[in-house]
Structures are given as C-alpha cells and as structure tokens.
Copies of this chain bind each other. A is one copy, B any other.
Amino acid sequence: MDMNTTVRLARRPVGSPVPEDWAIAEEPMPVVGEGQFLVRTTYISLDPAMRGWLDDRPSYLPPVGLGEVMRAGTVGEVVQSRHPKFPIGTIVQSTGGVQSFALSDGRGVTRVDPALGAPSTYLGVLGITGLTAYFGLLEHGRPRPGDTVVVSGAAGAVGTIVGQLARINGCRTIGIAGGPEKCRMVVDELGFDAAIDYRDPAMRKELRAAAPDGIDVYFDNVGGEVLNAALASLAMHARVVICGAISQYNADAVVPGPSNYLSLLVRRATMSGFLVFDYEREYATARRRLAGWVAQGRITAPETIVEGQVSDFHDVFMRLFSGDNVGKLLLSIQG
C-alpha cells in the first residue's frame, strides 16, 4: 500500500538551511472526501522565495509553520477523485507542497493544457516563474523599444525569461550572471546582447561600459552589491524592479541596503517591488502569450531537472544558492 512521503519544517533555519531543519516521514495516504481529489506529485518547483517562507516574520504570505509540510509549487496527476471537474488522469499545477501526494478541493489549482506546453513548463515559463518575469518587466519595468534593460540572475529561472521578453520588446538586453559559462549561455543561447560576470572585480566598470547611456530598466533578482552597482549606472527616469534578493536570503545578519539609492533622486528614477499574485486575473492571457513565444522559438526556457525522490528536496533546494543551476530548477519525482 502506498504511503505519502512528506518533508515538514522541523525547525527554522538560521542562515543557510541544513538537512536537520527538515523532518522526512512516511505518512498514511490522505483520505479523499466528497469534493476532493488526490494528486500524485510529479514535479516540485524550487524557488529562491521559498527561503523567505521559512523565517518567522510578516511577509506577503504567512511563514510555513513548524511541523507543516513545506510549501512548494507542484505539478502532478489526479490519481483519486470525488470532484467532477478534476477526474482521474488530469494533470494539474498547484501548491501541493513537498510531499508525494497532496489532497485538494480545487482551489488554487490550474489544469495543465498540453496544447500550451509540457507539464514541467507550468512551473517554469508558463508558471509563476514566467508570469513573474512577464508582469514584473512589463508592468513595473515598462520597457520601451530602444531601452537598455539589465537583469541580474540572468541565467536563473526568472532572469532567462526577463531578458528574452525585453528583447521581444525591442530592448537592448544585458544579463548579469555568475561565471563565464552562464555569461556565454545567456548571450549565445538566449540572445542577450551582452553579459557581465558579477564575480569579476571590474563588474561595475563593465556595466558602465556595456550600458554607456545608462540603464533604463534594471530587473533585480539578487540584491547586494549587484543592485548597488546598477543603481550607480541608471539613466534618467530609470525603473528599478525589485523581484528578489537571492544574495541575501541566507544571511544570518542584517545585510546593508543599497548605499547608492540616492541615484533615484539624481536620475529621477523609481524603484518598485511587486508580487506576481496581484496579477492573477491576467495569468491566462499572459500564459497564452508566453506559450506563443515559446512555440515561435522566440523564448527558450532552460530547465535543470533533477530526477529523484521527495526526500531529495533539501539537496536540490540548496542548488539554488550554490549557483550551479541554469534556468528553472525542478525536482522530478520518480513514480
């Protein structure tokens, strides 16, 4: 008889999470009640934002509670159902969490449309990742053709899409990524106009050289010194979009803020934060557009898919912070 493997939060990490922060268990299968269905997890999404959910402080979502199954975006297949709209065999995207089976009543569940893309893409370019890039860049960055758009974390899940959306929008696109191989990839495989290695001590100079007329849109996934360098190179009326700050999520002390923020004044610029969840009513339209660009070959959406078990969650999650994944990082659960 099947058991449900779960990964629950055992204690709150201080700094970088360690294996002891999680409790892995084999639990009885959930029982499907009327109006419910059971989803077998096939993909688990790994996202930098998940680190923030582990801290006990007010944020845009409540923190994951101690003892709760770790929150995560998932794709899976309906294997039992007492819900007329989600029959057995339906492929769905939801926030199923880090467990092999998840019970659902259909709320917050999206049916995967195979005509739009493979199931895994519903966690990547057609999922929260791609939607984050789409609404963050287009609504907050407001790029105009000819603008210089710089994105940090350019080889990451969101960054790869942001750069390509900027190019579709007629912008000059500069990626900031870690290491020569990622820099090569974003230029040669994703069509960025230029890439800068943030590990290069001359990063700030190179950014100035690559954007001699200044940065019109800066899309930040990393925070820290990279954000500060970008602030020093803003064009007039620039838009800085704060999407994330992966460089500091595991810090165990207060991280200094961007000391160059007064550039906002000198350059009459704007720095804004956003959350993709605010655009839920527009997801379907955005997803169709993203799928269209993928189908036309105008967006390439790299994925790093690790095959494994639910219990491999911690190891795969930590890859986000070691900088060795490219594009969307997924854990594929072997059935």
Contacts and interface: CB of A to CB of B under 8 A. Distances in A.
A241 B242 CA distance: 16
A243 B265 CA distance: 7
A268 interface: yes
Interface stretch (A35-43, A121-129, A272-280, A315-323): A272-280
B278 A268 contact: yes
Interface in A257-292: 257-275, 278
A274 B269 CA distance: 7
B264 A271 contact: yes
Given A271-B271, A271-B272, A272-B271, A59 B259 contact: no
Contacts of A244: 265
Contacts of A228: 257
Chain A interface extent, by class = 20 to 34
A297 interface: no
B262 A260 contact: no
A26 to B, nearest CB: 36
A24 to B, nearest CB: 30
A274 B278 contact: no
Given A228-B257, A257-B256, A245 B262 contact: yes
A243, A266, A278 pick with most chain B CB within 10 angstroms:
A266
B264 A242 contact: yes
A118 interface: no
A270 B268 contact: no
A244 B264 CA distance: 11
Interface in A169-192: none
Interface string A26-70: 000000000000000000000000000000001110000000000
Contacts of A278: 268
A272 B264 contact: yes
Contacts of A263: 273
A1 interface: no
Given A60-B265, A266-B273, A267-B273, 19 more contacts: A58-B266, A59-B266, A223-B262, A242-B264, A242-B265, A244-B265, A245-B262, A256-B256, A256-B257, A257-B257, A258-B258, A261-B271, A264-B271, A266-B275, A268-B272, A268-B273, A268-B275, A270-B270, A270-B273
18 contacts: A228-B257, A242-B261, A242-B264, A242-B265, A243-B265, A244-B265, A255-B259, A256-B257, A256-B259, A257-B261, A261-B271, A264-B271, A265-B274, A266-B275, A267-B273, A268-B274, A268-B275, A270-B271
